[in-house]
Amino acid sequence: MSKQPTVSDIARLAHVSPSTVSRVLTGNSRVHPAKSAAVLAAIEQLNFRPNLTARALALGKSMVIGILTQSMMSQFYGELAQGIEDGLAGSGYQGVFASGHWESLDEQAALDILLARQVDGLIVLGGYHPDTALRAINKQIPLIAVGRHIEGLEDHCIRVENASGSFQAVRHLIDLGHRRIAHIGGIPSHLDACERQRGYTEALTSAGLAVDERLIVEGNFTEQSGLLALETLLARGSHFTAIFAANDQMAYGIRLGLYRRGLRVPDDISLVGFDDLLGSVYTTPPLTTVRQSMLEQGRQAARGLLRLLANEPPALPSITTELVIRETTARVRG
């Protein structure tokens, strides 16, 4: 096995001092353009790969960003993760992921692992970790949150126009003549779920329709919970002609449950989701849903954290939503 080239090898080839090579590698100070060019040419010629650990020690940084997610199996969190990677591209920072699995103990363990890695910053995707604990972490390293509100760190949290998006979805069903509209909600402690249910109730009341609590069933954002929530809804015996699900994954489970019951979508029951996951255009029939860009949220979270690391304001935008009408909604019959 050939010996890996060293800083001294580069210095000899470039006819500069080892300290000049180090300054070029770290970027900590200015180097004469001619010397910098010679060093870079020598690096390429020798196929030099810097020792990232040594570089991190020299810089006093780990060059690692911790990402606390909830489930890497979820397409929603997968798209967020891809957006974060896009946002970090070219920055020199590498993301490290740990999952909380929507369990408090798992989430604490995941955070402990990330913090033990001495990450330079943290991106929190949803979860239950207390605001007080996250505020304490933010005093040590910069933090950005997606999908949750942290009191006192509002400008560190990416906000999605959830209420207006769900209002549009339910208004669409009302305009099609639906008056008995059920709602399969998300985890009650989750900000997105609360705002989407608020948009649902506001759409009904603005149209002069009563909010029937028997038509509201709690889910947990998974396909299985959508299926189970539908069974609960049907067991109550309350009449409905449409369902608004708090996310697409639950809508997939609802769609399966309706199929098993011999109920056609949209002929018998109209169905609307929220998120516009990549697979929603390929369901049978294609799902009407509210689009929010998870990729863009991930990119903005990463860019906001990079700004914080540069001692700048995070400048996080509000993420807009858009109703995407496909083939799971139709005018109510009779």
Domains of the chain and any CATH numbers: 7-50 (1.10.260.40), 62-157 (3.40.50.2300), 162-293 (3.40.50.2300)
For tokens 């001495």, name the residue: 118
Distance CA 271, CA 325 (A): 11
Task: Work out the angle between the directed axes of helices 33-46 and 18-26 (0-180°, nearest 10).
Answer: 90
What pTM does this model have? 0.79
State the 10-residue block means of pLDDT for the chain, 334 residues long: 74 88 69 84 80 56 89 82 93 89 86 90 91 94 93 95 97 98 93 95 98 97 96 96 97 98 97 96 97 95 96 94 98 84
Residue 45 CA to its chain's centroid (Å):
41
- For 245: left if phi > 0, alpha if psi spans -120 to 50, otherwise beta; the answer is beta
- For 317: left if phi > 0, alpha if psi spans -120 to 50, otherwise beta; the answer is beta
Distance CA 253, CA 169 (A): 19
Distance CA 198, CA 175 (A): 19
Residue 1: the pLDDT is: 44
Residue 169: the pLDDT is: 98
Nearest CA-CA partner of 173 in 207, 222, 138: 207
Structure tokens at 166: 């769900």
Distance CA 230, CA 275 (A): 19
Structure tokens at 291: 């689009």
Residue 53: the pLDDT is: 53
SS3 at position 78 = helix
